[in-house]
């Protein structure tokens, strides 16, 4: 991961660049107990909605495209598996959508969808 101090952008494995501010906000929400679910189309859901402050809602609304792009990001971690192990030849099982934790609870009140 490469962080640019000038424009506060972090470049993730695979060349995906995202705002440090958006990444930090999503990680903060997760530390407060939030989980994220990608919705059909271009939206995402934060659950439970009670973790969101009015400032969080305004921030996520203003940065919804970048937040969704970051939530959809999946790193190629194949290099972390030992080449001789059976797991190296088969893909890992699908995991719940979370930046850090494996919690897949989903709510309805905090949907962030681009309705264009």
Cis peptide upstream of residue 113 (ω within 30 degrees of 0): no
Per-position b or e across 94-107, b if 16+ CB within 10 A of its CB: eeebbbeeeeeeeb
Q: Which domain holds residue 6?
A: 2-74+97-112
- Would you place residue 38 in the very low, low, confident or very high pLDDT band (cuts 50, 70, 90)? very high
Of 7-21, 39-53, 69-83, 89-103, minimum mean pLDDT range: 89-103
Of 2-6, 56-60, 64-68, 79-83, minimum mean pLDDT range: 2-6
- The answer to whether position 52 is within a domain reads yes
Overall pTM surpassing 0.75 (yes/no): no
Our CA angle for 75, 42, 105, nearest 5°, is: 70
- The answer to whether position 27 is within a domain reads yes
Percent of the residues in the chain that have a pLDDT greater than 90, as a whole number? 42
- The answer to whether position 53 is within a domain reads yes
- The answer to whether position 12 is within a domain reads yes
Predicted confidence (pLDDT) at residue 36 exceeds the cutoff of 70 = yes
- As for how many domains the chain has, the answer is 1
């Amino acid at each position: 991961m490469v962080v640019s101090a000038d424009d506060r952008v972090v470049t993730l494995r695979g060349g995906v660049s995202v705002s440090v501010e958006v990444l930090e906000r999503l990680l903060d929400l997760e530390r407060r107990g939030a989980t994220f679910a990608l919705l059909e189309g271009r939206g995402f859901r934060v659950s439970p909605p009670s973790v969101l402050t009015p400032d969080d809602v305004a921030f996520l609304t203003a940065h919804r495209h970048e937040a969704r792009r970051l939530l959809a990001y999946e790193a190629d971690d194949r290099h972390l598996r030992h080449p001789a192990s059976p797991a190296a030849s088969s893909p890992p099982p699908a995991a719940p959508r979370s930046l850090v934790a494996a919690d897949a609870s989903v709510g309805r009140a905090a949907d962030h969808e681009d309705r264009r």
